[in-house]
Amino acid sequence: MSETSSALLREPWTDVTRQKEADSFGFWIFIASEVMFFGGLFLAYAVNHYLHPHAFKVAVQHTDITYGTINTALLMTSSFFMTAVVRGAPAQMRRTTLIGLSICAALGIVFLVVKGIEYREDISKGLVPGAGFPLEPQAAQIFFGLYWIMTGVHALHLFVGICLVLIIDTLVARRRLPLNSPTIEVVGLYWHFVDIIWMILYPLLYLLGRWS
The binding site for other proteins (CB under 8 A) comprises 21, 24-25, 28-29, 31-33, 35-36, 39-40, 43, 46-47, 50-51, 65, 69, 72-73, 76-77, 79-80, 82-84, 86-88, 91, 93, 96, 188-189, 192-193, 195-196, 199-200, 202-203, 206-212
Q: How far is CA 4 from CA 15, 20, 86, in A?
A: 12, 14, 18
Rounded-to-integer distance, Cα 107 and Cα 112, Å: 9
Least distance in angstroms from the C-beta of 11 to other proteins: 21
Cis peptide before 178 (omega within 30 of 0): no
Least distance in angstroms from the C-beta of 160 to other proteins: 18
Count of other CB atoms within 10 angstroms of residue 157? 19
Cis peptide before 203 (omega within 30 of 0): no
Q: Which is nearer to other proteins, 73 or 117 (CB)?
A: 73
Describe the crossing of helices 94-124 and 140-173 by its angle, rounded to 10 degrees.
Answer: 150
Q: Which is nearer to other proteins, 69 or 138 (CB)?
A: 69
Least distance in angstroms from the C-beta of 154 to other proteins: 14
Residue 10's region, left for phi above 0, alpha for psi from -120 to 50, else beta, is beta
Least distance in angstroms from the C-beta of 130 to other proteins: 27
Listed in order, strand segments (DSSP E) in 1-66 are: none
Q: Which is nearer to other proteins, 176 or 210 (CB)?
A: 210
Least distance in angstroms from the C-beta of 80 to other proteins: 4
Q: Which is nearer to other proteins, 42 or 133 (CB)?
A: 42
Contact (CB, 8 A) for 192 and 82: yes
Least distance in angstroms from the C-beta of 204 to other proteins: 8
Q: Which is nearer to other proteins, 73 or 123 (CB)?
A: 73
Rounded-to-integer distance, Cα 163 and Cα 166, Å: 5
Q: Which is nearer to other proteins, 88 or 108 (CB)?
A: 88
